[in-house]
Amino acid sequence: MNNKKIFLPIIFIFIIFFSSLFIVKQTEQALVLQFGDPIRVIKKPGLKVKIPLIQNAIFYDTRVLDFDAEVEEVILSDQKRLLVDAFIRYKITNPLKFYQSVGNENGFKARVGGILSGSLRRVLGSDPLEVVLSVDRSQLMEKIKEEIDNEAVNFGVKMVDVRIKRADLPKANSEAIFARMRAEREKEARQFRAEGSEESQRIKSKADKEKTVIIAEANKESQTVRGEGDGESVKIYANTFKKDEDFFSFYRSMEAYKKAFEDEPTLILSPDSDFFKYFDNKSGK
């Protein structure tokens, strides 16, 4: 019985002693509360001491934290609607101010969600869709980050980054934009086809013109050559005729007979016709 009386106080002392100790991890910072009022901020890791039963410690992460916001529908300056899915990255730099302003991370997310929504509407709503979806979006996100950072400093928080994960058009807007893009592409296609047809006609006209010129020049050259040949032929015939007029006359008559009998095997002519003069010439002259 006496041992039991001694053992119980020892256990109570150990419980009180160990309840007065707590550990702050390397990735944490602590805020010591006394009856709910903050009295001490601990940022260095290690074994720490508090008054048991009177004081308690709450811990906040020192690492970069993420907050994924709800999808927001933003109306841009060109009256187009855009569904924006954004997130922020932040660090708790002042645990005391963080506790006094929002209490915990859930309270902070509830507050910063409204700030992010308003900033998205203000900054993105001042530019058209072409700018929001272009490389200039990084500048817009920097503006949003600065706006949120100015508000978050009141919560003991530092903004690290603000980014848009997705930016989609509502279904109705997407269909209208796709229809307009399709109409623009069809218009460009018709223009390209018209320009191609015009170019084709121009090339064909040029080719036909060159063809006509080439044929005309070829015909001219052939007529010139043929004329020169005929002239040379006449000249040869004339020279031959001058040398032996009787033989030339006889040769021409033989050629005439040949052609006549080839085309018309039967001819009705007067026997006294000059056509048969060589048939009656018994002397051969």
Domain boundaries, the chain: 2-61, 65-169, 171-243, 244-285
Backbone φ, ψ for residue 157 (5° rounding): -125, 145
Nearest to 163 by CA among 258, 86, 69: 86
pLDDT at 97: 93
* Residue 72 neighbours by CB distance under 10 Å: 17
Dihedral (Cα; 255, 260, 261, 263), 10-degree rounding: 120
pLDDT at 188: 86
Tokens of 87: 């997130």
Tokens 């002519």 -> residue: 269
Query: Measured between alpha carbons, how far is 51 from 58 in angstroms, rounded to an integer?
Result: 14
Strands 81-92 vs 157-168: parallel, antiparallel or unpaired: antiparallel
Query: Measured between alpha carbons, how far is 269 from 113 in angstroms, rounded to an integer?
Result: 125
21-47 burial string, b = 16+ CB within 10 Å, else e? ebebeeebbbbbbeeeeeeeebeeeee
* Residue 69 neighbours by CB distance under 10 Å: 20
Tell me whether residue 7 is exposed, middle or buried, using C-beta atoms within 10 angstroms of its C-beta: 0 to 12, 13 to 18, 19 or more: exposed
Contact 65, 92 (CB under 8 A): yes
Please list the alpha-helical segments (H only) found in 39-160: 95-101, 105-124, 129-132, 137-152
Architecture of domain 65-169: 2-Layer Sandwich (3.30)
Facing residues of 29 across strands?
60
Backbone φ, ψ for residue 268 (5° rounding): -115, 110
pLDDT at 263: 60
pLDDT at 269: 56
Facing residues of 34 across strands?
37, 55
* Residue 116 neighbours by CB distance under 10 Å: 25
Per-residue pLDDT of the chain (285 residues; tens, 9 = 90+): 555 566 667 766 667 767 788 889 999 999 999 988 899 999 898 888 888 888 889 999 999 999 988 888 888 888 878 888 889 999 999 999 999 999 888 899 989 988 998 888 888 888 887 877 777 778 888 888 899 989 888 999 999 998 888 877 766 655 666 677 788 888 888 888 888 888 888 888 888 888 888 888 888 888 888 877 777 776 776 676 666 666 666 667 667 666 666 665 565 656 665 655 555 554 444
Query: Measured between alpha carbons, how far is 281 from 126 in angstroms, rounded to an integer?
Result: 121
First to last CA, the chain: 183
Contact 114, 167 (CB under 8 A): no
Alpha carbons within 13 A on the beta-carbon side of 63: 5
